[in-house]
Chains A and B, each alone.
Chain A
Amino acid sequence: MTEPAKQPNDTPLDDTLRPHIYDGIQEYDKRLPRWWLLTLYGAMVFAVAYWGYYHAYEIGTPPAKALEAEMAESAAIAAKKAGEITDELLWKMSHDEQVLSAGKATFDTTCAVCHKPDMTGLIGPNLVDNQWIHGGKPMDSLKTITEGVLAKGMPPWGPVLGKQKIAEVVAYIMAHHHPGEEIIIVPGWTPPAGVVPPPPAQ
């Protein structure tokens, strides 16, 4: 307490002022802080190195190439993981409670907007009757969902949902059917009148 307060090294009083005064404003001419200079020079060095690595000497992989490599790698993993899926397996899955609840969850969030939660069809076709457009066997459905039918507005869900989820959804749909049931192939789907709300008045 009795000791006098230590003078900080950086007292403004020691600094020399530049002679000029602008509307009462004066300026010191302090040295540039060293850490600040280091960040400036460091960023410059990094910039040169980065440019050299990716552009001047083309050592680094360009982003599009890197992406393609990454996608190829994951495609290989997917191919390895994909076990044999068959009609038989999917029918079997359609009795598994756990599979069905998972399939229902995916169906309700992804498919129900077009096919309705009860699968009776809205924008997309009815899935509980025995009329089918692209084949009615479990493996046919799996293919339709995975690859989509772009001409009719069915998006390919393979890259979005993945094999596992699609198989669960197929199992969930097939829980509404049984093996050996009659399959009638029809050209397309027309929503029944009254299902779709009328357009607004003019």
Chain B
Amino acid sequence: MSTETTQTKTRIEYDDTPVRQFMIASIFWGIIGMLVGVVIATQLGVWQANFNTSWLTFGRLRPLHTNAVIFAFVGNMMFAGVYYSTQRLVKARIASKLLSRIHFWGWQLIIVAAAITLPLGLTRGKEYAELIWPINIAVALIWVVFAVNFFWTLARRNEPTLYVAIWFYIATIITVAMLYIVNHLSIPTSWTHSYPIFGGVQDALVQWWYGHNAVAFFLTTPILGIMYYFLPKAAERPVYSYRLSIVHFWSLVFIYIWAGPHHLLNTSLPVWLQSLGMIFSLMLWAPSWGGMLNGLLTLRGAWHKVRTDPVLKFFVASVTFYGMATFEGPLMSIRSVNALSHYTDWGIAHVHGGGLGWNGFMAAGMFYWLAPRLWKRPLHSPAAANMHFWLGTVGILIYMASMYVSGITQGLMLGATKEGGTVLAYPNFIEAVTSKKMLMHIRALGGLMYLVGFVMLAWNIWKTASGAEVVNGSTEVYVPEKTARMGLGGGFVNAPVIYTTLLIVFAAGWGVLPGTGSAFCIFGLITTAAIMSMSIEFSKAGWNDWYERLLANAVPFTALTTIAVFIGGLVQIIPTVMVNTGSSVEGMRQIPYTPLELAGRDIYIREGCYNCHSQQIRTLVGDVLRYGEYSKLGESIYDHPYQWGSKRIGPDLAREGGKYPHSWHYFHMRDPRQISPGSTMPDYPWLFTDKTDTAALPNKIAVQRKIGVPYGPMTDVEIQQACDTQAAGIAAELKTAGAEVPPEREIVALIAYLQKLGKAEKVSQQTASNPQSAIPNPQ
């Protein structure tokens, strides 16, 4: 405890138990997550690897893979790194042993719950946000425990000012909490099922604001913080540039949050949002490379160590992959490049450069560096660590090369037209699937090599730790005098903050205001910039002093970071949520689902169909020729959750309804290869034996009504009757086509849903503003 007396020398023993726990957990879950990755990679080349078993199909395992590697592997690694470095950087033991233990065991329980529920098909149907609502609440609570423990430790610090790693940790904790809560707002229909409160385009926007920034603030900022501690420690060299740290930190956290809509380019998302997503992604290039530069240039004078030290090898490769991925990201955000790259394996190559390269290698370097310090014994085998490095690097390169070839091939084939742009060059989607089969095998091989390398790490650390003495670090500090605090007001009312705020306000005003307002904002922008540049000239030292004072004041620092990450979300989400629902539908409005179709839709979500099929026809010639008229804003407004998807392993389904007879879907779901030779889609035999859960429908429809879907009043009996009638009709039609199935089976509900896809009514501007009267009771 810090005391009021000045210059007392105290000895602090750090609490490294949570570091050890999180590190072991990260390695364990890392192996599981990567193993699932290898399995699903294999399934894309060999459909039999789905084993005709519901809980082993690609659609259910792919969410398990993504959640496991993001939240279990990198999550645990991040906590280990944060707990280790924060204690040392602020010269204080972790505030609460109890909170650390709750944090650790709570997080592991969440992971176990995820590993059980996802294969069972319990899902929210949104990427990287699949976990069901009770687990969401647990995640939020454990995150708060982490936050309290972290900020409490900062409050008890014996080091007055905050090092750059701590800035990144603060940004992480605040932003992840904000993103996670907003994207998981849902209303439960049962203990295991809920509908998100946002639908259609709103849900798409919120989802990618979250999804993109999960990459930013879960996979990037904490790892940058870890880089800023462990890399200079391992290299024993000073960090390259303090002022680069400042510039790239603030520009990174401010700009990152705006870039989400680049996942929705050429879709029915309003164009102004698409443009913001694109231009902010381009502006993100330099701030990201600031981190890479500060990492790589810190090695000046230490490059000779890279040759022998596996830890530095991993760090250098990791930061290099970070630089490649953050160059590629802005590139893929350019509208025309995105038209080719989106929905293809190019995206998969990109994220694995970041995931396997940046995250995975940073984790490996950190673990190899930590193990001897946590267990007081030298690393068992540096040779094996070097071997791991080369195996992993070659694995990543094989993986990425095959996926680039596959992605670009697929993008070019599916977009290609001939005869003056009037016909598709490759009319059958399956051609793009069969042409990349070999590449899928090569990719699985690359992933397997990476996994083998990681298992070597587990073995190496196990040999280092088993039987070794467990040690906690310690240090001696002089408890500093209480310095004058800045206070929240002092954090805001000062030149740098005021100038920055004015610049942002004027820039935004120029962008959106018409006529004179716009001109006034340009004037304001120039004036502010002029005054600011003069005051920089006159008081560079003043600005520097101000920032140094800010660094000694954690509360104002956190408040400013919070504001910086809030702005982008507010500007993009508030107008979309306020404007859309009623009137802005672009002339087409979705016809709400009947009860049976809704039940079918929940089966579609349960099976994770969105992992392979998009439901969004982009404003591109290839898309329109292949799938029909491009998707309009109003055509998915009642979709909670939206199912636009992000990948086309199979074709788009936005206008699937009515394209084929019921029997086509019946035979296709039973054996896709009977209808579509060469298909890699799994068989779905259980849909033909399991009964549709119609008992849950009254609750589901009540919730749908609450979140704005215009369902008329219906009693439970009426709902059941509506289901029975529609199912009987479909079953009868199937029977005439020689496909006999009892009407209460799931396949019937799923066919009902698939045949509804793309059904919308034309609306005029007048009727559009009043959906309640325009839409009859869907019964």
Interface set of A (CB-CB < 8 Å, partner B): 10-13, 15, 17-18, 20, 22-33, 36-37, 39-40, 43-44, 46-47, 50-51, 54-56, 62-64, 66-67, 70-71, 73-75, 77-78, 81, 109-110, 113-114, 123, 150-153, 155, 159-162, 164-165, 190-191, 193, 195-196, 198-200, 202
Question: C-beta contact mask, B281-297 vs A, less than 8 Å → 1, else 0?
Answer: 01101110110010001
- Partner of B278 from A17, A50, A155, A196 at Cβ < 8 Å: A50
Number of A-B contacts (CB under 8 A): 199
Chain B residues with Cβ below 8 Å from A56 are 510-511, 518
Interface status of B776 (Cβ within 8 A of chain A) = no
22 of the cross-chain contacts (CB-CB < 8 Å) are A10-B300, A12-B300, A25-B232, A25-B238, A27-B241, A27-B242, A30-B240, A30-B241, A30-B243, A32-B244, A36-B289, A47-B280, A55-B511, A62-B271, A63-B335, A67-B624, A71-B621, A81-B420, A123-B660, A160-B626, A161-B427, A164-B423
B755, closest chain A residue (CB):
A153
Q: Is A160 in contact with B625, judged by CB distance below 8 angstroms?
A: yes
Interface status of B763 (Cβ within 8 A of chain A) = no
**Among listed B102-110, B570-578, B734-742, interface-contacting one:** B734-742
Q: Is A155 in contact with B737, judged by CB distance below 8 angstroms?
A: no
Chain B residues with Cβ below 8 Å from A13 are 301
Kindly name the residue among A15, A31, A36, A165 whose own CB sees the greatest number of chain B CB atoms within 10 A: A36
Q: How far, in Å, is B101 (CB) from chain A's closest CB?
A: 25
Chain B residues with Cβ below 8 Å from A74 are 417, 420-422, 621
User: How distant is the Cα of A11 from the Cα of B301 in the complex, in angstroms?
Assistant: 8
Interface status of B97 (Cβ within 8 A of chain A) = no
Q: Is A26 in contact with B676, judged by CB distance below 8 angstroms?
A: no
User: How distant is the Cα of A33 from the Cα of B626 in the complex, in angstroms?
Assistant: 48
Chain A residues with Cβ below 8 Å from B88 are 23
User: How distant is the Cα of A47 from the Cα of B259 in the complex, in angstroms?
Assistant: 12
Q: Is A12 in contact with B237, judged by CB distance below 8 angstroms?
A: yes
Q: Is A200 in contact with B685, judged by CB distance below 8 angstroms?
A: yes
Q: How far, in Å, is B628 (CB) from chain A's closest CB?
A: 8
Chain B residues with Cβ below 8 Å from A46 are 279, 282
Q: How far, in Å, is A195 (CB) from chain B's closest CB?
A: 6
A123-B667, A153-B660 given. 16 additional CB < 8 A pairs?
A22-B159, A23-B475, A28-B242, A32-B241, A54-B275, A55-B271, A55-B511, A74-B417, A78-B422, A110-B428, A123-B660, A123-B663, A153-B661, A196-B663, A200-B685, A200-B688
Q: Is B283 in contact with A44, judged by CB distance below 8 angstroms?
A: yes
Q: Is A78 in contact with B420, judged by CB distance below 8 angstroms?
A: yes
Q: Is A24 in contact with B251, judged by CB distance below 8 angstroms?
A: no
Interface status of B317 (Cβ within 8 A of chain A) = no
Kindly name the residue among A23, A32, A55, A152 whose own CB sees the greatest number of chain B CB atoms within 10 A: A23
Given contacts A18-B242, A162-B423, is CB(A190)–CB(B736) below 8 Å? yes
- Partner of A29 from B242, B293, B518 at Cβ < 8 Å: B242
User: How distant is the Cα of A12 from the Cα of B88 in the complex, in angstroms?
Assistant: 26
Question: C-beta contact mask, B623-664 vs A, less than 8 Å → 1, else 0?
Answer: 011101010000000000000000000000000001111111
User: How distant is the Cα of A196 from the Cα of B286 in the complex, in angstroms?
Assistant: 61
Q: How far, in Å, is B341 (CB) from chain A's closest CB?
A: 16
User: How distant is the Cα of A15 from the Cα of B89 in the complex, in angstroms?
Assistant: 23
Chain A residues with Cβ below 8 Å from B630 are 64, 67
Interface pairs A-B: 9 shortest CB-CB: A153-B661, A162-B423, A196-B738, A40-B286, A47-B279, A77-B420, A30-B241, A74-B421, A26-B238
Given contacts A18-B242, A123-B667, is CB(A47)–CB(B689) below 8 Å? no
- Partner of B737 from A29, A37, A44, A123 at Cβ < 8 Å: A123
A8, closest chain B residue (CB):
B300
